[in-house]
């Protein structure tokens, strides 16, 4: 079938078809996370996304520009998730409750994009333009949202001897390692188990049995237990 019969040129989507850019971004992130920047090609990304490599090249120009587009896409997702950041700010609620809510959002954002911790860790370990860009677009906004709350919790005596900046970095690494649990221990880490564990570590409280987690009837009791530090529960409020 020649070009006249198809009615389209090389590198252009089939008539009536729209390129799913979000899908291309997801495939590109997966490729970069798995094979690294140097081990990834536009052709491999295009093949994974099921599109002509000429389309990808026409849209993004180069692998580096596509890589930047992936970072920008992640930054947009993060900004959307941060629309609830006001719930972390001082508003009369106790800091341990706001920290619980913040950790919940932190875990769910990162586990919702399981390639992100591995991708981020690999890129920030390599000095250069890519590291500078990922720090500017991803790390700094993340830091500006979470660090003040960790500082507040530390100053309130909740985490004595803990450096908030170091803790924030370790939290990102902990998510990445935890997502590798199926390989290391034969079982999977769920977002809820990660939420509970991080909260128990940060607040120094016991966490309840997983048998009681997630039941609708327990929602109000859950919120009450978090809001009252005397009850010593590390379970997150499920609003």
| DSSP secondary structure of the chain | --HHHHTS-TTSPPTT----HHHHHHHHHHHHHHHTTTT--HHHHHHHHTS-HHHHHHHHSSHHHHHHHHHHHHHHHHHHHGGGGGGGS-SSS-HHHHHHHHHHHHHHHHHHSTTHHHHHHHHHTS-SHHHHHHIIIIIHHHHHHHHHHHHHHHHTTSSTT--HHHHHHHHHHHHHHHTTHHHHHSSPPPHHHHHHHHHHHHHT-B---GGGTT-GGGHHHHHHHHH-GGG-B-PPP--
Tens digits of per-residue pLDDT, 47-60? 999 999 999 999 99
All domains in the chain, ordered by first residue: 3-61 (1.10.10.60), 68-231 (1.10.357.10)
Report whether 52 contacts 46 (CB < 8 A).
yes
Residue 208 has pLDDT above 80, yes or no: no
Place 42 in a pLDDT band, splitting at 50, 70 and 90.
Answer: very high
Residue 16 has pLDDT above 60, yes or no: no
Tens digits of per-residue pLDDT, 59-98? 999 999 999 999 999 999 888 777 665 556 666 678 888 8
Q: Give the model's pLDDT for residue 239.
A: 35
């Amino acid at each position: 079938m020649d070009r006249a019969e198809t009615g389209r040129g090389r590198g252009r989507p089939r008539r009536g078809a729209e390129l799913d850019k979000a899908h291309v971004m997801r495939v590109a992130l997966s490729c970069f996370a798995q094979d690294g920047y140097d081990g990834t090609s536009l052709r491999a990304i295009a093949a994974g996304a099921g599109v002509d490599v000429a389309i990808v090249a026409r849209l993004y120009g180069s692998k580096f520009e596509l890589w930047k587009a992936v970072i920008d896409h992640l930054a947009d997702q993060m900004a959307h998730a941060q629309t609830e950041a006001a719930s972390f700010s001082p508003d009369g609620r106790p800091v341990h409750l706001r920290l619980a809510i913040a950790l919940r959002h932190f875990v769910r954002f990162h586990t919702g994009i399981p390639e992100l911790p591995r991708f981020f860790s690999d890129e920030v370990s390599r000095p250069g333009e890519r590291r500078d860009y990922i720090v500017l677009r991803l790390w700094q906004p993340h830091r500006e949202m979470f660090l003040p709350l960790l500082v507040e919790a530390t100053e309130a005596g909740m985490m004595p001897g803990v450096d908030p900046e170091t803790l924030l970095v370790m939290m990102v690494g902990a998510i990445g390692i935890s997502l590798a649990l199926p390989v290391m221990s034969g079982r999977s880490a769920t977002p809820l188990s990660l939420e509970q564990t991080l909260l128990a570590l940060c607040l120094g409280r016991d966490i309840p049995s997983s048998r009681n987690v997630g039941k609708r009837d327990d929602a109000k009791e859950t919120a009450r237990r978090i809001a009252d530090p005397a009850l010593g529960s590390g379970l997150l409020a499920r609003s």
